[in-house]
Structure 1
Amino acid sequence: MDVLSDVITVMRAGRPRSARIAWHAPWAQQFAPVPGSAGFQIVLQGPCWLIASDTGPVPLAAGDIVFRPHGRGHTLADSPTTSPTAPACDPNDPGLARYVSDVGDAAATVTLCGAYQLDPVHRHPLLDDLPELVHLPAHLGRHPELRATVDLLAGELERPRLGTDAIIPALLDTLLLHILRSWLDHKPAPGTVTTGWAAALNDPATAAALRAIHSDLARPWTVATLAAEAGLSRAPFARRFTTLLGKPPLTYLTWWRMTTAARLLHESDTTLSGIAVRVGYTSEFAFATAFKRQYGTAPGRYRRAGR
């Protein structure tokens, strides 16, 4: 798998939720903080404001997308001066669907809101690099795949049909991937010194090494073989990788192997020896030692505790 697909597969937990809501002025809706989740708001019709203590008021227009990756609370309102009157609501709450109302009124503001449940144990550092608010303003011709996904999701929520219960979670996963792609595709200004996952995945050498790790985790990687994938000599590659991602190549490799192993222990019936081979260990003993070092418990006990 590629890096971003791997990250989403490991971090995600449970089923994502979404609702299509029509608001009629004056209105202000609080969305409660939900630790261990990431939420989004998409404006389908009309203007509104997003108000949060960590960002300040943000004006939104039809087509705008905002992503809150760290589960912080916020308010949507017709104006920054409108006081919230509705009770705080959790975007994971299935009861949120009760807010859906007739959208025939052209004066209404219509939004899509939703949330993803994330596994705090397997939280990938890519998510930690995201700002409190990712705002993707509507611009003609920008992010066409993202816009197409929004249209499909809005249609399914407005007109549920046979298969909708299966389609909506798949569209929400697709939406999350396109939001992250759009953020990662943002190129810093020339001469700007940046670090973190956006910089690493936009750096050809580091991105090549990450692709190699994620596409063939079982290979007996060394700094030298990863440097060869990156097209650099050993020392410059190690410095570059460590500078951008904050940890040396083999430290990241071991962490990702153990993260992948933990997911396999909980989600599959693969034997311990089979998992050891899949994540690059030649013996079950070596794998168990590395796993216990990271998780503080033996792989077998970890599997039993998760079931």
Structure 2
Amino acid sequence: MDVLSDVVAVTRTGRPRSAHVRWHAPWGQEFASVPGSAGFQVVLRGSCWLLPPDAEPVQLHAGDVVFLPHGSGHTLADSPERLVTPAACGPDDHEPPHHAYATDTVDRSGDGGPVTVVLCGAYQLDPSRAHPLLLTLPDLIRLPAHPDRHPALRSAVELLAAELENPRLGTDAVVPGLLDTLLLYILRIWFDEQPARGDATGWAAALNDPPVTAALHAIHRDPAAPWTVAELAGEAGLSRAPFAKRFALLVGQPPLTYLTWWRMTTAARLLRTSNAPLRSIAAQVGYTSEFAFAHAFKRTHGTAPGAYRRDG
């Protein structure tokens, strides 16, 4: 798998949730902060205002996408001065009513004023498998609508909205895949649109740097391979020393440190999502010794593999 697909597959857990909501003015709704999740709002029709807790109000129009990678609290309203309805859930609720299950359509009646239709939803993330790529994202990402930009994202939104508004046979199977597609398109666009700077560091820069990306793809394609810095440098098309310096500068850790961390993160997912024996999981992440695997896993996660599986 490529790096971005792999990161989403490993970090996301559970079933994504979404709802198709019609707001009739006057209206205002607070959305609680939900740690361990990522949320989105897509304006399908009409307009509204996004009221972040620590920033100026932002007007949203049809086609605008707002992504909240860290589940930050926020408010939507038909006016920046509107009194809002308190959040209907808190961070300890398991099923936030404002991020309902896949086929929910909600009609929030006001006084018959202009209608705004919003597609809202959330993805559950596993904090123990949080990838630095996602941790470094800003609290709020806004992708304004533009007729000549992001056609794939618009298509995914339209398909998702159609399934939620008019559920049919197979909708419950289609919607989770569309939600994952939407998440990947949002992340792809954000990383692609980060300005290129010669002094830039971090994951946005790493994913736009061909040599480092080539090495990352090699690690994610085959984490069990006995990679050395020299072999990864060969994948990157660089000599050993310049590659190691470049990788550490952009990714934030040396190549083999990242390799070990990714192996342990992959192992954590396998422990929670499969019944494979420990020796099989150890082999899948590059360890011929179950003892060496258990030692590395405990050093990374603070608990033995068996206990980690039981606690999940």
User: Structure 2 residue aligned with 1:163, among 163, 170, 175?
Assistant: 170
Post-superposition shift, 1:27? 1.3
| Runs of 4+ residues deviating >6 angstroms | none
Which residue pairs with 1:34 in the alignment?
34
Kept after mapping to 1: 8 A contact 2:105/2:165: no
Give the secondary structure class of the aligned counterpart of 1:291. helix
Residues 1:304 and 2:310 aligned together: yes
Post-superposition shift, 1:54? 3.1
Give the secondary structure class of the aligned counterpart of 2:156. helix
Post-superposition shift, 1:127? 0.8
Give the Cα separation in 2 of the matches to 1:277 and 1:111.
46
Q: Which amino acid aligns with 1:11?
A: T
Give the Cα separation in 2 of the matches to 1:184 and 1:304.
36
Which residue pairs with 1:147 in the alignment?
154
Which residue pairs with 1:88 in the alignment?
87
5+ long unaligned stretches in structure 1? none
Q: Which amino acid aligns with 1:207?
A: T
Post-superposition shift, 1:71? 1.0
User: Structure 2 residue aligned with 1:183, among 177, 187, 190?
Assistant: 190
Give the Cα separation in 1 of the matches to 2:231 and 2:18.
44
Post-superposition shift, 1:266? 1.5
Give the secondary structure class of the aligned counterpart of 2:138. coil
Give the Cα separation in 1 of the matches to 2:309 and 2:76.
42
TM-score normalised to structure 1 length: 0.94
User: Structure 2 residue aligned with 1:260, among 255, 266, 270?
Assistant: 266
Post-superposition shift, 1:90? 4.4
Give the Cα separation in 2 of the matches to 1:192 and 1:100.
49
Kept after mapping to 2: 8 A contact 1:197/1:245: yes
Give the Cα separation in 1 of the matches to 2:199 and 2:107.
45
Going from structure 1 to structure 2, the CA distance change for 1:61 and 1:116 (only over 3 Å counts) comes to same
Going from structure 1 to structure 2, the CA distance change for 1:166 and 1:100 (only over 3 Å counts) comes to farther
Post-superposition shift, 1:162? 1.2
Going from structure 1 to structure 2, the CA distance change for 1:223 and 1:21 (only over 3 Å counts) comes to same
RMSD over aligned Cα atoms: 1.9
Going from structure 1 to structure 2, the CA distance change for 1:152 and 1:130 (only over 3 Å counts) comes to same
Which residue pairs with 2:64 in the alignment?
64
Kept after mapping to 1: 8 A contact 2:215/2:233: yes
Which residue pairs with 1:225 in the alignment?
231
Give the Cα separation in 2 of the matches to 1:150 and 1:294.
38
Give the secondary structure class of the aligned counterpart of 1:280. coil
The sequence identity of aligned pairs, in percent, is 66
The structure with the greater share of residues assigned to strand is 2
Give the Cα separation in 1 of the matches to 2:117 and 2:107.
9
